[in-house]
Amino acid sequence: MNIAIDGPAGAGKSTVAQLVAKQVGFTYIDTGAMYRALTLRALDRNVPLVDEEGLVDLLRSMLIILKPGAEGQKVFVGDTEVTDDIRHPEVSRNVSIVAKHPKIRHEMMVLQRNMAKEQNVVMDGRDIGTHVLPSAEVKVFLTASIEERAQRRYKELQSKGHPADLSLLKEEIALRDKLDSERETAPLRCAEDATILDSTGLSIDQVVEKIVELYRDTVESRRI
Protein backbone atom coordinates (compact mmCIF):
# COMPACT_ATOMS: atom_id res chain seq x y z
CA MET A 1 0.00 0.00 0.00
CA ASN A 2 1.33 3.44 -0.91
CA ILE A 3 0.54 7.03 0.01
CA ALA A 4 1.47 9.74 -2.53
CA ILE A 5 1.82 13.35 -1.40
CA ASP A 6 2.42 15.95 -4.09
CA GLY A 7 2.34 19.72 -4.08
CA PRO A 8 4.30 22.91 -4.68
CA ALA A 9 7.54 23.95 -2.95
CA GLY A 10 7.24 24.76 0.72
CA ALA A 11 3.76 23.32 1.23
CA GLY A 12 5.09 21.24 4.13
CA LYS A 13 5.07 17.94 2.28
CA SER A 14 8.21 16.46 3.81
CA THR A 15 7.37 17.35 7.42
CA VAL A 16 3.85 16.04 7.03
CA ALA A 17 4.83 12.95 5.00
CA GLN A 18 7.40 11.94 7.61
CA LEU A 19 4.89 12.15 10.43
CA VAL A 20 2.24 10.29 8.44
CA ALA A 21 4.79 7.54 7.66
CA LYS A 22 5.59 7.22 11.36
CA GLN A 23 1.93 6.96 12.35
CA VAL A 24 1.00 4.34 9.77
CA GLY A 25 4.32 2.45 9.97
CA PHE A 26 5.39 3.04 6.35
CA THR A 27 8.79 4.09 4.99
CA TYR A 28 9.09 7.76 4.07
CA ILE A 29 10.68 8.60 0.71
CA ASP A 30 11.50 12.20 -0.16
CA THR A 31 11.87 12.24 -3.95
CA GLY A 32 12.84 15.93 -3.96
CA ALA A 33 15.95 14.93 -2.00
CA MET A 34 16.97 12.70 -4.90
CA TYR A 35 16.75 15.56 -7.43
CA ARG A 36 18.58 17.77 -4.93
CA ALA A 37 21.38 15.20 -4.44
CA LEU A 38 21.93 15.06 -8.19
CA THR A 39 21.90 18.88 -8.45
CA LEU A 40 24.43 19.18 -5.61
CA ARG A 41 26.75 16.66 -7.24
CA ALA A 42 26.42 18.35 -10.66
CA LEU A 43 27.28 21.74 -9.14
CA ASP A 44 30.27 20.23 -7.28
CA ARG A 45 31.56 18.46 -10.39
CA ASN A 46 30.86 21.36 -12.75
CA VAL A 47 28.50 19.33 -14.92
CA PRO A 48 26.42 21.91 -16.83
CA LEU A 49 22.81 21.69 -15.65
CA VAL A 50 21.59 21.87 -19.23
CA ASP A 51 23.66 18.82 -20.24
CA GLU A 52 21.03 16.09 -20.01
CA GLU A 53 23.32 13.24 -21.07
CA GLY A 54 26.06 14.41 -18.70
CA LEU A 55 23.55 14.46 -15.86
CA VAL A 56 22.27 10.98 -16.73
CA ASP A 57 25.85 9.65 -16.61
CA LEU A 58 26.40 11.41 -13.31
CA LEU A 59 23.17 10.01 -11.82
CA ARG A 60 24.06 6.48 -12.92
CA SER A 61 27.42 6.82 -11.19
CA MET A 62 25.78 7.80 -7.89
CA LEU A 63 24.23 5.70 -5.19
CA ILE A 64 21.56 7.82 -3.49
CA ILE A 65 20.57 6.39 -0.13
CA LEU A 66 17.61 7.66 1.91
CA LYS A 67 17.92 6.53 5.53
CA PRO A 68 14.99 6.97 7.86
CA GLY A 69 16.05 8.07 11.36
CA ALA A 70 14.64 9.45 14.60
CA GLU A 71 15.58 13.01 13.59
CA GLY A 72 14.19 12.71 10.09
CA GLN A 73 15.42 11.24 6.88
CA LYS A 74 19.16 11.32 6.23
CA VAL A 75 20.45 11.51 2.70
CA PHE A 76 23.71 9.95 1.51
CA VAL A 77 25.49 9.82 -1.80
CA GLY A 78 27.58 6.70 -1.41
CA ASP A 79 29.30 7.13 1.96
CA THR A 80 28.95 10.91 2.08
CA GLU A 81 26.11 12.43 4.05
CA VAL A 82 24.47 15.34 2.14
CA THR A 83 21.35 15.86 4.28
CA ASP A 84 22.13 19.53 4.98
CA ASP A 85 24.04 20.35 1.81
CA ILE A 86 21.09 19.50 -0.46
CA ARG A 87 19.01 22.21 1.30
CA HIS A 88 21.54 24.91 0.43
CA PRO A 89 19.91 27.87 -1.39
CA GLU A 90 22.14 27.34 -4.42
CA VAL A 91 20.75 23.82 -4.80
CA SER A 92 17.18 25.10 -4.31
CA ARG A 93 17.70 27.72 -7.01
CA ASN A 94 18.97 25.18 -9.54
CA VAL A 95 17.10 21.95 -8.84
CA SER A 96 14.15 22.70 -11.16
CA ILE A 97 16.54 22.98 -14.11
CA VAL A 98 17.84 19.48 -13.40
CA ALA A 99 14.36 18.07 -12.74
CA LYS A 100 13.14 19.30 -16.12
CA HIS A 101 15.10 16.79 -18.20
CA PRO A 102 12.88 13.89 -19.40
CA LYS A 103 15.70 11.31 -19.19
CA ILE A 104 16.52 12.33 -15.62
CA ARG A 105 12.84 12.07 -14.68
CA HIS A 106 12.67 8.62 -16.21
CA GLU A 107 15.76 7.40 -14.32
CA MET A 108 14.40 8.81 -11.06
CA MET A 109 11.01 7.23 -11.66
CA VAL A 110 12.57 3.78 -12.06
CA LEU A 111 14.55 4.22 -8.82
CA GLN A 112 11.47 5.45 -6.96
CA ARG A 113 9.19 2.67 -8.22
CA ASN A 114 11.75 0.09 -7.12
CA MET A 115 11.79 1.58 -3.64
CA ALA A 116 7.98 1.37 -3.47
CA LYS A 117 8.00 -2.23 -4.69
CA GLU A 118 9.97 -3.42 -1.69
CA GLN A 119 7.92 -1.79 1.06
CA ASN A 120 4.86 0.29 1.92
CA VAL A 121 5.82 3.92 1.37
CA VAL A 122 4.73 7.46 1.93
CA MET A 123 6.37 9.20 -1.02
CA ASP A 124 6.38 12.94 -1.54
CA GLY A 125 7.22 14.95 -4.63
CA ARG A 126 5.59 16.61 -7.63
CA ASP A 127 4.58 13.71 -9.88
CA ILE A 128 4.06 10.81 -7.50
CA GLY A 129 0.27 10.51 -7.82
CA THR A 130 0.33 11.29 -11.55
CA HIS A 131 3.37 9.33 -12.82
CA VAL A 132 5.53 7.49 -10.30
CA LEU A 133 2.80 5.68 -8.35
CA PRO A 134 -0.41 6.26 -10.31
CA SER A 135 -2.11 3.42 -8.45
CA ALA A 136 -1.21 4.66 -4.97
CA GLU A 137 -4.15 3.90 -2.68
CA VAL A 138 -4.07 7.36 -1.07
CA LYS A 139 -3.20 10.51 -3.02
CA VAL A 140 -2.98 13.96 -1.52
CA PHE A 141 -2.21 17.27 -3.21
CA LEU A 142 -0.92 19.53 -0.46
CA THR A 143 -0.96 23.28 -1.06
CA ALA A 144 -0.69 26.52 0.92
CA SER A 145 -0.68 30.20 0.00
CA ILE A 146 2.61 31.50 -1.36
CA GLU A 147 2.94 33.91 1.61
CA GLU A 148 2.66 31.06 4.06
CA ARG A 149 5.05 28.83 2.12
CA ALA A 150 7.68 31.59 1.97
CA GLN A 151 7.27 32.26 5.69
CA ARG A 152 7.77 28.57 6.50
CA ARG A 153 10.94 28.34 4.37
CA TYR A 154 12.21 31.56 5.95
CA LYS A 155 11.81 30.17 9.46
CA GLU A 156 13.33 26.83 8.44
CA LEU A 157 16.42 28.48 6.91
CA GLN A 158 16.83 30.83 9.87
CA SER A 159 16.61 27.98 12.35
CA LYS A 160 19.46 26.26 10.47
CA GLY A 161 21.56 29.41 10.54
CA HIS A 162 21.26 30.11 6.79
CA PRO A 163 20.77 33.80 5.93
CA ALA A 164 17.35 34.39 4.36
CA ASP A 165 15.41 37.21 2.71
CA LEU A 166 11.64 36.75 2.81
CA SER A 167 10.74 38.62 -0.38
CA LEU A 168 13.54 36.90 -2.31
CA LEU A 169 12.32 33.54 -1.02
CA LYS A 170 8.81 34.36 -2.22
CA GLU A 171 10.16 35.14 -5.69
CA GLU A 172 12.23 31.95 -5.76
CA ILE A 173 9.29 29.80 -4.68
CA ALA A 174 7.04 31.41 -7.32
CA LEU A 175 9.69 30.78 -9.98
CA ARG A 176 10.12 27.16 -8.89
CA ASP A 177 6.33 26.64 -8.97
CA LYS A 178 6.30 28.05 -12.48
CA LEU A 179 9.18 25.89 -13.74
CA ASP A 180 7.82 22.76 -12.05
CA SER A 181 4.27 23.32 -13.37
CA GLU A 182 5.20 24.32 -16.90
CA ARG A 183 7.78 21.67 -17.75
CA GLU A 184 6.74 19.21 -20.44
CA THR A 185 7.57 15.93 -18.70
CA ALA A 186 5.58 15.04 -15.60
CA PRO A 187 4.79 18.61 -14.50
CA LEU A 188 3.55 19.48 -11.04
CA ARG A 189 -0.12 18.71 -11.33
CA CYS A 190 -2.89 17.45 -9.06
CA ALA A 191 -3.90 13.88 -9.96
CA GLU A 192 -7.57 13.58 -10.87
CA ASP A 193 -8.18 11.17 -8.00
CA ALA A 194 -6.15 13.12 -5.40
CA THR A 195 -7.62 14.85 -2.37
CA ILE A 196 -6.66 18.53 -2.34
CA LEU A 197 -5.57 19.72 1.09
CA ASP A 198 -4.92 23.44 1.61
CA SER A 199 -2.73 23.70 4.70
CA THR A 200 -2.89 27.51 4.98
CA GLY A 201 -3.73 28.26 8.59
CA LEU A 202 -3.66 24.60 9.62
CA SER A 203 -1.14 23.17 12.07
CA ILE A 204 1.16 20.33 11.03
CA ASP A 205 -0.76 17.98 13.33
CA GLN A 206 -4.07 18.91 11.75
CA VAL A 207 -2.76 18.16 8.27
CA VAL A 208 -1.22 14.87 9.41
CA GLU A 209 -4.48 13.88 11.08
CA LYS A 210 -6.45 14.51 7.89
CA ILE A 211 -4.11 12.36 5.81
CA VAL A 212 -4.05 9.52 8.36
CA GLU A 213 -7.86 9.69 8.38
CA LEU A 214 -7.91 9.36 4.58
CA TYR A 215 -5.60 6.37 4.87
CA ARG A 216 -7.75 4.71 7.55
CA ASP A 217 -10.92 5.31 5.48
CA THR A 218 -9.23 3.69 2.49
CA VAL A 219 -8.14 0.67 4.53
CA GLU A 220 -11.68 0.38 5.93
CA SER A 221 -13.32 0.60 2.50
CA ARG A 222 -11.03 -2.12 1.16
CA ARG A 223 -12.12 -4.44 3.96
CA ILE A 224 -15.79 -4.17 3.04
- Least Å distance, CB 202 to ligand DC, is 19
Between 196 and 219, name the residue whose CB sits nearer to ligand DC. Answer: 196
Please give the residues from 153 up to 212 whose contact with ligand DC meets the rule CB under 6 A.
Answer: 176, 180
Q: Does residue 96 belong to the site contacting ligand DC (CB under 6 A)?
A: yes
How many Cα atoms sit within 13 Å of 176 on the Cβ side?
26
- Least Å distance, CB 34 to ligand DC, is 7
- Per-position DSSP letters for 20-75, written without gaps between them: HHHHHTPEEEEHHHHHHHHHHHHHHTT--TT-HHHHHHHHHT--EEEE--TTS-EE
Binding mask 104-143 for ligand DC (x = CB under 6 A): ---------------------xxxx---------------
Contacts of 38 (CB under 8 A, 6+ apart): 55, 58, 59, 62, 64, 98, 104
Which of 26, 28, 35, 154 forms a contact with ligand DC (CB under 6 A)?
A: 35
Between 147 and 217, name the residue whose CB sits nearer to ligand DC. Answer: 147
- Least Å distance, CB 185 to ligand DC, is 9
- Least Å distance, CB 61 to ligand DC, is 20
Phi-psi region of 186 (alpha: psi -120 to 50; beta: other; left: phi over 0): left
CA-nearest of 22, 19, 27 to 1 is 27
Q: Which residues bind ligand DC (CB under 6 A)?
A: 9, 31-32, 35-36, 95-96, 99, 125-128, 176, 180
